[in-house]
C-alpha cells in the first residue's frame, strides 16, 4: 500500500492495529469494536497538510518509497509547482476523500468526536485536557503536567519554540495556517479545482 491513505473494502486482519493518521471513516467502520468504545478523529486544514507534506517530502521524511522519487521531482520544481505536485499525490492517495469521509461521523456524536489540529496548535495543554476529558481519563495533576511536558513541541524540536521553523526537521513548525505563507493565487486555484467544496464541507474558511 506504500503511503496510500488507509481505505479498505473489508475488515482489517485479526491482530492488526490501524494507526494511519488518515484512516478513512468507511475503513474505521470495518474495525471490530467492543460493546463500549470511544473514538476521536483530528481534522486539519487540508491546505496545511499540503504544505506539511511538501516540506516533509522535500527535506525531512525518511527516504523510502515513494519519498525518494518525490524528493527528486520536487528538487527540480519551484515551490509553487511543487505544491501542485503534492496536491496531485494527496488526491491520488485519497487523502482529501479520507478527511471528508469523517464528516459523516458527526451523526454518531455519542461515540465519535471530531477535534481540530488548529486547536492543538493554539493551546497544546488545553487540547490535551480536552482529549483526556472526552476519553474520561482522570490522572493526577502532577502526572498531567509530566505528560504534557514530555510531549510538548519544544521537547521534540530540541528547544525550538513552536512557530519557529526548521524546514529540515520532522517537527518543522508546529503551527496552523502556514498555507497562507506558501499558497499563491495559482496554487489556491489548483487546490480548489482538485478538491471542489472540501473546505466548505470540513468547515475551513477560504
- pLDDT recorded at residue 5: 56
| Residue 28 pLDDT > 90 | no
Question: Going by C-beta distance under 8 Å and a sequence separation of 6 or more, which residues neighbour residue 56?
Answer: 170, 172
Min mean pLDDT across 29-33, 52-56, 108-112, 123-127 is at 108-112
Share of the chain residues as helix, strand and coil, in percent rounded to the nearest 5: 55, 5, 40
* pTM of the complete model: 0.86
List the grid coordinates of 31: 474495525
Query: Using only C-alpha atoms, what is the Rg of the chain?
Result: 18
Pick left, alpha or beta for residue 80 (phi over 0 → left; psi -120 to 50 → alpha; otherwise beta): alpha
149-193 pLDDT, tens per residue?
998 888 887 888 888 877 777 878 888 999 999 999 999 999 999
Under 8 Å between Cβ of 46 and 202: yes
pLDDT digit string, tens, across residues 97-146: 999 999 988 777 778 899 999 999 999 999 999 999 998 889 999 999 99
The one-character DSSP state at 60 is I
Residue (of 118, 62, 69, 59) closest to 89 by Cα position: 69
* Lowest model confidence (mean pLDDT) among 12-26, 62-76, 83-97: 12-26
Look-up: residue for cell 499563491? Answer: 184
Average pLDDT for residues 19-30, to the nearest whole number? 77
Q: Which helix (H) or strand (E) holds 115?
A: strand 112-116
Least confident of 16-25, 53-62, 70-79: 16-25
Alpha helices (H) in 123-176, listed in sequence order: 124-134, 141-151, 153-156
Alpha helices in the chain (DSSP H): 25-30, 46-55, 67-75, 79-93, 95-101, 117-122, 124-134, 141-151, 153-156, 185-195, 198-202
Amino acid at each position: 500500500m506504500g503511503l496510500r491513505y488507509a481505505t479498505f473494502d473489508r475488515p482489517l486482519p485479526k491482530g492488526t492495529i490501524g494507526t494511519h493518521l488518515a484512516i478513512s471513516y468507511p475503513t474505521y467502520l470495518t474495525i471490530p469494536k467492543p460493546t463500549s468504545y470511544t473514538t476521536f478523529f483530528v481534522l486539519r486544514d487540508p491546505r496545511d497538510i499540503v504544505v506539511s507534506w511538501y516540506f516533509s517530502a522535500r527535506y525531512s521524511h525518511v527516504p523510502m518509497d515513494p519519498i525518494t522519487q518525490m524528493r527528486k521531482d520536487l528538487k527540480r520544481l519551484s515551490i509553487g509547482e511543487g505544491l501542485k505536485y503534492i496536491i496531485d499525490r494527496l488526491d491520488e492517495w485519497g487523502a482529501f476523500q479520507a478527511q471528508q469521509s469523517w464528516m459523516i461521523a458527526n451523526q454518531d456524536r455519542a461515540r465519535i468526536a471530531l477535534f481540530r489540529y488548529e486547536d492543538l496548535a493554539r493551546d497544546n495543554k488545553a487540547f490535551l485536557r480536552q482529549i483526556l476529558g472526552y476519553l474520561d481519563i482522570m490522572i493526577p495533576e502532577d502526572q498531567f503536567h509530566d505528560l504534557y511536558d514530555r510531549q510538548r513541541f519544544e521537547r521534540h524540536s530540541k528547544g525550538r519554540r513552536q512557530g519557529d521553523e526548521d524546514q529540515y526537521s520532522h517537527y518543522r513548525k508546529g503551527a496552523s495556517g502556514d498555507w497562507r505563507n506558501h499558497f499563491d493565487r495559482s496554487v489556491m486555484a489548483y487546490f480548489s479545482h482538485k478538491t471542489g467544496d472540501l473546505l466548505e464541507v470540513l468547515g475551513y474558511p477560504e
